[in-house]
Structure formats: C-alpha cells, structure tokens
Amino acid sequence: MSLPIGSQKRTTDGVIGTSGKKIRLYGLICRAGGSDAVVALHDGTSTAGAQMDAINITASTTNRVSYPGGLYLGSGCFIDVDANTSFVVAIYEQENS
C-alpha cells in the first residue's frame, strides 16, 4: 500500500519522505547557483547507502529529471547536495510496507 504522491523541497542534505521507509521517486527539479552543482541520491538515510543516481547541473540553470515508473529505493532516500545547489524538489510516493 502506498501513500499519495507528494513533494518535498530541500536546500541541504537530508532524507526525502519518511526516514528509512520504502520510497519511489518520480522526478526531481534541481537548481544550481552561480557554479556547477551535483546532487546525489542514496538508498538509505545517509551517504553510506548505495548511490543510485547523480545529477550534474550547469551553473545558474534548472535540471528536471524524470524516472518513468519511479526510481525505487528500498531503504529510504537521502539527497546529498553540494554547496552550489540552490534547491532540489523531489516528487515521490512513500510506501507503507
């Protein structure tokens, strides 16, 4: 059973949705500041989890990333943003079980 699709904005490293719970990401909107930026997605609650994707963003631009069917992360989703990342918006579905 899944909860409704939601979204969450982050400007710093952190968990998306409920920490440690199964999640399916459908998309990201990532914005870089004045320099190039990198956003990394990890399966889990910290950067110790397996890196599932890395998004490179050119300075002062916005990248939109889609995951058709959803990117499944069985141990939760941790987003690691670098100092040049302005924000990341994640569109996701949190799973209850």
* Beta strand spans in 1-97 (E): 2-10, 14-16, 23-32, 37-43, 50-57, 62-73, 77-81, 85-95
* pLDDT tens, residue by residue, 84-94: 999 999 999 99
Tens of pLDDT, residues 36-70: 999 999 999 999 999 999 999 999 999 999 999 99
Pairing of strands 62-73, 77-81: unpaired
Q: How far apart are CA 60 and CA 32, in angstroms?
A: 5
Quote the tokens at residue 17.
Answer: 């949705």
Residue 76, SS3 per DSSP:
strand
Q: What is the pTM of this model?
A: 0.91
**CA-only gyration radius of the chain, Å:** 13
CATH of the domain spanning 2-95: 2.60.120.340
